[in-house]
């Protein structure tokens, strides 16, 4: 069964109502999530969502309308409504929007999946979470939580230019967290977020039960560990924290809609100036950032974005120089670029917008052991606990769950409440060692847009070293 006809009816109705371009997505989504706490299942949800979203371009503005009804009459009504909404924008019109030319595509794509996560018995999945939290509790956690999430999405996309694309994308992931609660503070250790466009095999590889006792012990130890000292030092970041660093201080900064001011009131703009694309130094020569929705199994992977552009890998930063952006067909046309491919929507009821796909750091020449061995005095931090960055994506302060002193090439004492702060390009230009031990980390909770949308993004990253970083900011 497919839904091309309903999508096509919506598109045609929008054109008939005056749109000069229209596209529509029908999506049928199944999600399942479970949480366990202290050895018992806490919440289990199984959700189904089906609907159609149609966008119509009239003058300078998109109009978008979404309905949960997949009948053709409802689709046609939605198409008309989208065009009417777009037309109402003429009261406050801008320059007529154009779309970067793109050949129509007829295609079908599905993500790889060894074990269909929805086919794994609920009892087995529940037992896994229960056992993981029980193991953490037994090892000393005051509070142990475990969770998994599964997304199973079918999409049918039709455009007025002739696109007809269907995709089936399966994503899943999970984790376990141990809390130790002291008199005046709470410490936490968790498996860093592991999510991908993969099957249940991803969750099995996490070994939630096996890792839980270590996490509980580390959380307890953190309660009495010395505070991360304040000052400037050499900072080594673990891979998962570097993934967050990339997400916040590179991924969002290279979103073309932000650069063009389209997100100015909420998410913010970007410190990047398009006139310097191709010449601006973003980081050290070791910094090579790619936009790669073809990365196998990563959370931001797909066959086609939500405008029908085929997935393709390209550089955003090459040898430290800023060379690329995340773009859609409309923003690319404004900027005079010849590529798009980074537009997605959070479900059928939301307008597609520029989103990160997989924005990651290409591997470096070192290993984490080599980086530590080459460091006389510094701090190692990993696993994000708090993240804050300004509306131009420059001034950041991140907190991690755990830190360690690095002295004379060896890992020393555990440090609690490690934080570091800096200015994006200055920080990236100080990167002097980079590991080759890349993992495709996933972020399933990236917020952007109004109305708010949650995006799934991937971030291949490996441990790296940065010099003269301010650490140990406390409240």
Partner 1 sequence: MSAELQLAAKVVELIRELAGRSAEAEVMVRHHALALTRFANSAIHQNVAEATTGVRLRLHLDGRTASGSTTVTGAQGLRSLVERTIAAARVTPPDPGWAGLAHPAALHISAGHPGSGEHSGLAFGFDEATARATPAERAERVRAFVDAAGGLETAGFCRTEYLSAAFANTAGQAVEGRTAEAAMDGIARNAGFAGAPSGLPGGASRDGVARLSASRLADLDGALLGARAAAKARATADAVELPPGQYEVVLEPTAVADLLQNFSVFGFNGKSWAEKQSFAELGKAQFDPSVTIVDDPLGSRGEPAPGLPFDDEGTPARSLVLVRDGVTQAVTHDRTSAAQAGAESTGHAAPTSRSWGPFPAHLRLEAGAAPAGGIPDGPPSIAESARPFVARMRRGLLVTDLWYTRVLDPKTLVVTGLTRNGVWLVEDGEVTRPVGNLRFTQSYPRALGPGRVLGIGAESVLLPDNWGGAHYAAPALHLASWNITGNASG
Residues 92-131 that bind partner 1 (CB under 8 A): 92-95, 97, 121-123, 126-127, 130
Per CB under 8 A, the list member of 4, 20, 72, 89 interacting with partner 1 is: 89
Tokens of 459: 């971030």
Closer by beta carbon to partner 1, 15 or else 41: 41
Q: How far apart are CA 309 and CA 307, in angstroms?
A: 6
- State the virtual CA torsion across 121, 123, 127, 130 in degrees, nearest 10: 120
Closer by beta carbon to partner 1, 385 or else 465: 385
- Residue 421 vs residues 188, 198, 470: alpha-carbon distances, Å: 21, 34, 6
- State the virtual CA torsion across 176, 178, 184, 185 in degrees, nearest 10: -40
Per CB under 8 A, the list member of 103, 210, 412, 447 interacting with partner 1 is: 447
Q: How far apart are CA 437 and CA 372, in angstroms?
A: 14
Which parts of 161-190 interact with partner 1 (CB under 8 A)?
A: 179, 181-182, 184-186
Q: Is 397 in the site for partner 1 (CB under 8 A)?
A: yes
Closer by beta carbon to partner 1, 157 or else 295: 157
Per CB under 8 A, the list member of 294, 395, 436, 467 interacting with partner 1 is: 395
Give which of 351, 325, 302 is closest to 453, Cα–Cα. 351
Closer by beta carbon to partner 1, 84 or else 367: 84
Which parts of 20-79 interact with partner 1 (CB under 8 A)?
A: 34-36, 40-51, 53, 60-68
Q: Is 473 in the site for partner 1 (CB under 8 A)?
A: yes
Q: How far apart are CA 15 and CA 21, in angstroms?
A: 7
C-beta of 6: minimal distance to partner 1 in Å? 14
Positive/negative CA dihedral, 250, 252, 257, 263 = negative
Give which of 244, 208, 214 is closest to 34, Cα–Cα. 208
- Residue 73 vs residues 29, 52, 209, 293, 350: alpha-carbon distances, Å: 22, 12, 51, 35, 20
Per CB under 8 A, the list member of 100, 136, 144, 259 interacting with partner 1 is: 259
Tokens of 111: 């993500």
Q: How far apart are CA 167 and CA 320, in angstroms?
A: 35
Q: Is 273 in the site for partner 1 (CB under 8 A)?
A: yes
Per CB under 8 A, the list member of 233, 234, 241, 269 interacting with partner 1 is: 269
Among the residue ranges 212-220, 310-318, 350-358, 455-463, the one whose residues contact partner 1 (CB under 8 A)? 350-358
Closer by beta carbon to partner 1, 3 or else 81: 81
Interface mask toward partner 1 for 197-216; x: CB under 8 A: --------------------
Q: Is 295 in the site for partner 1 (CB under 8 A)?
A: no
Q: How far apart are CA 124 and CA 380, in angstroms?
A: 37
Alpha helix ranges (H) inside 374-415: none
Among the residue ranges 205-213, 214-222, 262-270, 366-374, the one whose residues contact partner 1 (CB under 8 A)? 262-270
């Amino acid at each position: 069964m497919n839904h091309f006809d309903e999508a096509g009816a919506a598109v045609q109705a929008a054109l008939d109502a005056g749109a000069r371009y229209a596209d529509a997505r029908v999506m049928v989504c199944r999600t399942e999530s479970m949480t366990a706490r202290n050895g018992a299942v806490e919440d289990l949800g199984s959700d189904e969502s089906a609907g159609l979203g149609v966008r119509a371009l009239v003058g300078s503005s998109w109009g978008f309308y979404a309905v949960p009804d997949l009948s053709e009459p409802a689709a046609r009504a939605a198409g008309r409504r989208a065009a009417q909404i777009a037309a109402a924008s003429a009261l406050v019109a801008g320059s007529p929007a154009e779309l970067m030319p793109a050949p129509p595509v007829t295609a079908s794509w599905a993500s790889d999946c060894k074990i269909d996560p929805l086919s794994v018995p609920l009892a087995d999945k529940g037992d896994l979470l229960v056992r993981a939290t029980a193991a953490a509790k037994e090892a000393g956690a005051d509070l142990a939580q475990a969770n998994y999430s599964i997304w199973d999405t079918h999409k049918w996309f039709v455009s007025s230019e002739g696109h007809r694309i269907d995709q089936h994308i399966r994503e899943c992931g999970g984790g376990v967290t141990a809390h130790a609660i002291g008199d005046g503070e709470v410490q936490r250790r968790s498996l860093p977020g592991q999510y991908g466009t993969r099957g249940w095999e991803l969750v099995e590889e996490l070994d939630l039960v096996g890792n839980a006792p270590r996490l509980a012990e580390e959380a307890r130890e953190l309660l009495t560990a010395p505070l991360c000292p304040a000052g400037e030092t050499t900072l080594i970041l673990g891979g998962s924290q570097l993934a967050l660093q990339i997400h916040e201080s590179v991924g969002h900064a290279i979103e073309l809609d932000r650069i063009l001011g389209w997100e100015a009131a909420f998410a913010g703009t970007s410190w990047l100036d398009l006139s310097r694309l191709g010449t601006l130094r973003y980081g050290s020569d070791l910094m090579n950032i790619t936009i790669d929705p073809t990365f196998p199994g990563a959370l931001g992977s797909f066959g086609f974005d939500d405008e029908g552009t085929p997935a393709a890998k390209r550089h955003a930063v090459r040898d430290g120089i800023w060379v690329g952006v995340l773009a859609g067909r409309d923003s690319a046309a404004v900027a005079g670029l010849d590529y798009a491919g980074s537009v997605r929507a959070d479900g059928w009821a939301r307008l597609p917008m520029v989103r990160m796909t997989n924005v990651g750091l290409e591997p470096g020449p070192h290993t984490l052991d080599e980086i530590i061995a080459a460091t006389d005095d510094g701090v190692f931090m990993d696993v994000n606990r708090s993240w804050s960055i300004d509306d131009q994506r420059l001034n950041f302060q991140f907190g991690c769950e755990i830190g360690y002193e690095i002295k004379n090439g060896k890992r020393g004492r555990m440090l609690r409440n490690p934080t570091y702060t800096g200015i994006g390009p200055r920080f990236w230009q100080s990167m002097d060692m980079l590991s080759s031990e890349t993992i495709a980390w996933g972020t399933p909770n990236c917020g952007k847009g109004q109305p708010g949308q949650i995006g799934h993004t991937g971030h291949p990253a490996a441990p790296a070293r940065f010099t003269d970083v301010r650490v140990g900011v406390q409240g």
